[in-house]
Chains A and B, each alone.
Chain A
Amino acid sequence: MTRSLLAAGAAAALMLTGSACGLGSTGTGSEGSVSRVPELAPDQEVSIVFESYNFGQAGAWTDTFNELIAAFEKEHPNITVTAQKPQGNSANPATDTISSLQSQLTAGSPPDVVQLGFSDLDFTINELKALPLDDLVGRDAVQANFDGARHPYAPSARTLGDWEGKTYGVPFVFSTPMLYVNKKLFTEAGLDPEQPPTTWAEVRDAAQAIDRRTGKDGVYVDCLTKTAKDWCFQALVRSHGGTVISDDRTRLTFAEKPSIDVVRFMRDMVREGIMPNRTQTQAVESFARGDLGMILESSAIQGMFLQGAGDAWELGAAAMPSFEGKQAVPTNSGAALFVFAQDPAKQRAAWELIKFLTSERAYTTIATKIGYLPLRTGLVEDPGGLESWAADNPYLAPNLAQLEHLEPWVSMPGPSYLQIRDGMMQAVENAVFQGAGPAEALRSAQQEASALLPGGER
């Protein structure tokens, strides 16, 4: 009797707390082609929601974006924009973007414009069904936006949100991997701070010198842990002539010789004691404190390094180093703007917002106030644009120069793309920092991850 009462009580309690079943599916976006949306009538009132992880960070990020939204609303008095950050509880709101969008799609009310990372590109388009802008507003309008009023997008940037020949996302903000150096430690180690290393062999020599002569750590490469994600690991592998996935996206290739060699090289620096065995946060803060000679890091972190340096030491920056005799191939981290609006009027308003946020005017504001790279690179030579800002920013030149050889951060395919990516990076981390054999770790991770590819055996 007691047992049946208990069972009935438990069952009823479950009913009381509501049923979560049936809420797990995603992909309420449109299938196939989307019809062209008409222009808005001048007096047609529309309100849209813009979701961006930039609103999750107080200070310059939120303030700058609020300023831009206010300017947009002034220019388009009939469109009201509500800004929001992704929902979720991660310390870094940028990691909540996809789950936030999924839960809002489930509730039937996705935000109309969403800022999503390039690592999620395949999933965003094929599973969450972001709308193809080429169909929505016409390919000519999309290309005209890339061409801009005066300054076009950098050629390598304009196709980053494309999928099978159509543009789905307009690349918005991104950064590239840069080699930041502590000029004070370089001088103390007898190195020339104005000639930072250009190859990985030189990085290793410089790190040894710093370690030996100053007692501080030599170098940290923030591309080798699960937390770092895979964007700059992909850059390292491609700089060494390899890939992490085949061009037709059916086969993983991160356990082939170029990747193994990269992982082995990095592992050896850890073994030698010139690369500290640290987490991402520890390493970034150690560099900001002045206790680390060099760090390969996203240009987005630069502000934090400058704050840490203060008057205590001087920050220097160089392009991502290359492997001997090969061209360095940087990749981009960052995000593009996608449309998920379901109503035609909102879809048109969403496109108007995207055009505004990627305009010359918006990039000028974003670059000067937040420090992001302007994707309309001509702005840095425009006296009415960012010329004076660029002149005051000595770290910009190597960053812009890298755009020439930039290749996209390739997203992994299928619904299990995050497990594939994380499995690969866990293997890299285990090999570099935890003593696992590089070839064995990568091969076993690749074998496991291959089963997660679409059509893979599970």
Chain B
Amino acid sequence: MTIDDAVGEPRVRRLGGHLVLGVLSLACVFPVYWLYATSVRAPGDVYSLSVLPWPLSTASYADAFAKNDVLGMLLNTGVVAVFSALGQLLVALLAAYAFVAWRFPLQRLLYLMFVGTWLVPFQATMLPNYVLLSRLGLLETLAGVIVPTLCSALGVLLLREHLAGFPKELLDAARMDGRSSWSTLWLVVVPALRPALAALGILLAITAWNEYFWPAMVLQRSNAVVQLGLRSFMGTEGNDWGPLMATAGLACLPVLVLYLVLQRHIVNAFVRSGLK
């Protein structure tokens, strides 16, 4: 006897629930399926509405590679995602540690300032950031894409909350053992925070990988990251759907693989952050 039977839930209702879930998941998966289906259609069939692409063709992939340096783009995007995520983790870790381990003047105000930056929309900061990058000579560089993202209010907020629950006794014990605050951070705090850091890192890397707006501002002379490369197949003379879908399919792959391998951590990351 199952629990459901025990509480008397009708089988039909359970089936109905699964049916709804099944339909919803199909609705979620279908656009992704259509993306890959379009990418393997023959060039002449790109506008076809048939659900099964046949005959299969790799022409769109060849076309994408011929028109754009797709591998270079994927590599650059990887660099941006990794450095952006690592940088944000480092800043967030140091800031959160400071807020939790010490008492200092204006602490609360400083913390509110961090949180406050989260409330300022990107559109309000983009022009000043752009002008600043222009003066620093960082326009048209990957560094220009990465640097303005290095401080993440979300990261500070999340890690501070995690650290707040960290036993003070451990910090005190480390101090009594004669550890400096720097080595306490790396030898005591970081190992204990590893799951939270991993979850946050994945979240930040995926966000940086998918970022489109800011790279579009900074990289005017090239399509160095893959999300910009996608746009180069759209234009006044119509959209080049074959290579567009092929590149989009390749751009999704690393995230999909990351998701498959680290599924539990990613779900954790979203649950911990309260975001989706």
Contact = CB atoms under 8 A, between A and B. Distances in A.
Interface of A: 5-6, 8-10, 12-14, 16-20, 23, 53, 56-59, 61-62, 82-89, 91-94, 100, 103, 106-107, 109, 281, 284-285, 288-289, 300-301, 303-304, 307-308, 310-312
Contacts of B136: none
A23 to B, nearest CB: 5
A18 B128 contact: yes
B14 interface: no
A307 B134 CA distance: 42
A300 B223 contact: no
Nearest to B111: A9
A445 B130 CA distance: 37
B47 interface: yes
B76 interface: no
B128 A19 contact: yes
Contacts of B169: none
A10 B237 contact: no
Nearest to B153: A13
B149 interface: no
Interface stretch (B16-24, B117-125, B258-266): B117-125
A91 B234 contact: yes
A9 B221 contact: no
A109 B134 CA distance: 10
A5 B47 contact: no
A16 B127 contact: no
B108 interface: yes
A381 B145 CA distance: 50
Contacts of B179: none
Contacts of B231: 56, 89, 91, 93
A278 to B, nearest CB: 14
A434 to B, nearest CB: 25
Nearest to B134: A107
A56 B235 contact: yes
A85 B236 contact: no
Contacts of B237: 57, 61, 300-301, 303-304
B130 A89 contact: no
> Residue among B43, B112, B129 with the most chain A CB within 10 A?
B112
A11 to B, nearest CB: 8
Contacts of A85: 220-221
Interface string B96-131: 000000000000110111111101100011011111
Nearest to B49: A289
A8 B47 contact: no
Contacts of B216: 87-89
A18 B132 contact: yes
B117 A284 contact: no
Contact of A18 (B125, B134, B238, B240): B125
Given A53-B236, A57-B236, A300-B236, A87 B109 contact: no
Contacts of B113: 9, 12-13, 16
B221 A17 contact: no
B234 A92 contact: yes
Nearest to A335: B236
Contact of A303 (B43, B131, B221, B238): B238
Nearest to B66: A59
B236 A13 contact: no
A5 B130 contact: no
A371 to B, nearest CB: 8
A400 B237 CA distance: 19
A5 B108 contact: yes
Interface centre among B44, B125, B134, B231 (most CB of A within 10 A): B231
Contacts of B56: none
B213 interface: yes
Interface string B130-146: 11101000000000000
A231 to B, nearest CB: 12
A279 B167 CA distance: 60
A93 B128 CA distance: 23
Nearest to A49: B221
Q: Which of A9, A16, A86, A284 has the most CB of B within 10 A?
A: A9
Contacts of B184: none
Contact of A93 (B44, B109, B132, B235): B235
Given A12-B109, A62-B232, A107-B134, A304 B127 contact: no
The 3 closest A-B CB pairs, nearest first, are A13-B116, A9-B112, A18-B128
Nearest to B215: A89
Given A9-B116, A61-B235, A82-B221, 5 more contacts: A13-B120, A18-B128, A59-B233, A89-B212, A89-B231
B213 A89 contact: yes
A6 B68 CA distance: 49
B67 interface: yes
B217 interface: yes
A310 B43 CA distance: 9
A103 B240 contact: no
Nearest to A96: B216
Interface in B8-61: 43-44, 46-49
Given A10-B119, A91-B234, A23 B44 contact: no
A84 B112 CA distance: 40
B99 to A, nearest CB: 14
A106 B67 CA distance: 33
Contacts of B127: 20, 23, 103, 106
B223 to A, nearest CB: 7
Contacts of A23: 127-128, 131
Nearest to B151: A16
A14 B120 contact: yes
Nearest to B231: A91
B90 to A, nearest CB: 19
A307 B220 contact: no
Nearest to A303: B237
Contacts of B233: 57-59
Contact of A17 (B67, B117, B212): B117
A62 B67 CA distance: 9
B87 interface: no
Most chain A beta-carbon neighbours within 10 Å: one of B68, B124, B220, B243: B220
